Structure 1
């Protein structure tokens, strides 16, 4: 069983980042064009402890380069959330919030610098969607950042995922707005894209917001199963679906959603297609300490 979607470049770039080897980090990132979505690789670097200690030296050595600024921005996002932690806002201290916001403001500066140097890149605007939610820039500004991302790449899945979070109830939106955004994005795109995942994510977010008992009842509604199957037919079950970019996460998400909905046939097909490749999202919703264990548990219950 493999985590990180089984992409060997993820491990390679993470190891290079931990070793402060900018040459290898740059080589891996530059080999994955923006059009092929290098978000997972960027987060592999950004989530690596210590990057903040050496990336400033690269910025000084390459003052006109966009890529190190993009990397610095993504690292400061992750580093900011490390300071905030995943606790509820009421349980986060004022000092934690101060550090969180300071790091996000640095991230914004670096991401804007990257966007100025490479106006056609999507990744800086995707990063600014994330910082915007943490800095609470408001729905109007958040929407403009999302629109800036999708002008550059209309089917950029991570940008759509960020906007879906933005309109979730927990971030000031509503279930109705979230589901409407998911469906309009998924079915407004050509058949065979990865955007069908948004429908599954919206159902999982709705499930997550409910207490024990009502959550299971929600996922078992016949209309939820029908919605998931409709989205799957328009997305990864369509013959035009390409196994590129974040396709493994798409299948993992539907595997979890079908499992919780009690659709064993749908879940089994998704688990078969993942071939044992586990992505942290969405399984950490079930087991934050061991997402792969949650994957294994539901895969077994599906009969796979």
Structure 2
């Protein structure tokens, strides 16, 4: 019980949420501006966005708002007149497309669903293609186009091309890296050696304390899912060592700051250590998250959901709570 007292009570009570506004309260003014259809306020939010952070998280929040496409089609004169409106609308169409397709296996998706899915993505790609012609340094548009490349099955070469343009627009674009990492999985035409090599490069090239080393965790999570025993894979000494190094390079580094994307990073590390059966190593990540978590990768966990996440969190904090509190 002493360990429980050392960890903030917020980590033990309340319902875990995947809501981005709970993750990042800084996005509340943007949401309010969109819901109020206050386009000048939306443009000010992005104009004032920290230059050292990836705006893709903010774009994703807008894209997940149901019905926002109606507003965006006329905002700022419409996508033909405003690259920001086009960037947001393109991202929204991609979300709508994936909602139609669902997360089911391809064999469980109807022809009509696939047709609608591809239509949404093709429209988004055409729109965002115009955006990057006008604004080659629009990292959010390039990041969305990396995701589109996967959905439209445009191939690895095109996915790499789009990612490289995102990286040219903004060094170490972590959202684009996480998006490309999915494309590099065998299920999307890649290979695990290529995926791990990319993840290690993301970690090594980013500044200490940046979030990019979380790609290492997600790469191992993906391979673990393809192995006969995910837990046995994650318990391999070399895998655990790479996870330790990734944590030390990112969220465990003295230079780390909770910038946009930090919830995804901690959530992935918490999942990876949980899968490895290492509650003590998972505890600091669970303590940082409190009642925040992300659907990916926790949707992979058996019986996944808020209750499952909370059970794993409590188990880790009861084992490693003192360490989580003291760092």
**Match of residue 151, structure 1, among 155, 168, 175:** 168
Verify: 1:218 aligned to 2:236, yes or no: no
When the two structures are superposed, what TM-score results if normalisation uses the length of structure 2? 0.84
Verify: 1:294 aligned to 2:311, yes or no: no
Asked if structure 1 preserves the Cα contact closer than 8 Å seen for 2:79 and 2:89, the reply is no
- Give per-residue Cα distances to partners, 1:44-68, cap 9 Å, x unaligned: 1111221223322226457432100
Asked if structure 2 preserves the Cα contact closer than 8 Å seen for 1:18 and 1:50, the reply is no
- Give per-residue Cα distances to partners, 1:12-58, cap 9 Å, x unaligned: 54455456554544443333246421212211111122122332222
Asked if structure 2 preserves the Cα contact closer than 8 Å seen for 1:256 and 1:298, the reply is no
Gaps of 5+ in 1: none
- Report deviation, 1:294: 3.3
Partner of 1:262: 277
- Supply the distance in 1 between the matched residues of 2:205 and 2:293 (Cα, whole angstroms): 28
Partner of 1:253: 268
Aligned pairs, number = 301
Give the 3-state SS of the residue equivalent to 1:195 in structure 2. coil
Partner of 2:223: 206
- Report deviation, 1:206: 1.3
- Report deviation, 1:167: 0.6
Partner of 2:324: none
- Supply the distance in 2 between the matched residues of 1:23 and 1:283 (Cα, whole angstroms): 37
Verify: 1:273 aligned to 2:279, yes or no: no
- Report deviation, 1:143: 0.6
| Structure with more relative contact order (C-alpha pairs < 8 Å, separation 6 or more) | 2
Please, what is the CA RMSD of the aligned residues?
2.3
Partner of 1:76: 93
When the two structures are superposed, what TM-score results if normalisation uses the length of structure 1? 0.90
For residues 246 and 288 of structure 1, do their structure 2 counterparts lie closer, same or farther at Cα, with a shift above 3 Å needed?
Answer: farther
Partner of 2:157: 140
Verify: 1:7 aligned to 2:21, yes or no: no
Gaps of 5+ in 2: 1-13, 322-327
Matches within 5 A, 1:228-243: 228-243=243-258
Partner of 1:117: 134
Matches within 5 A, 1:26-37: 26-33=43-50, 35-37=52-54
Q: Which moved more, 1:143-152 or 1:13-22?
A: 13-22
- Supply the distance in 2 between the matched residues of 1:239 and 1:78 (Cα, whole angstroms): 36
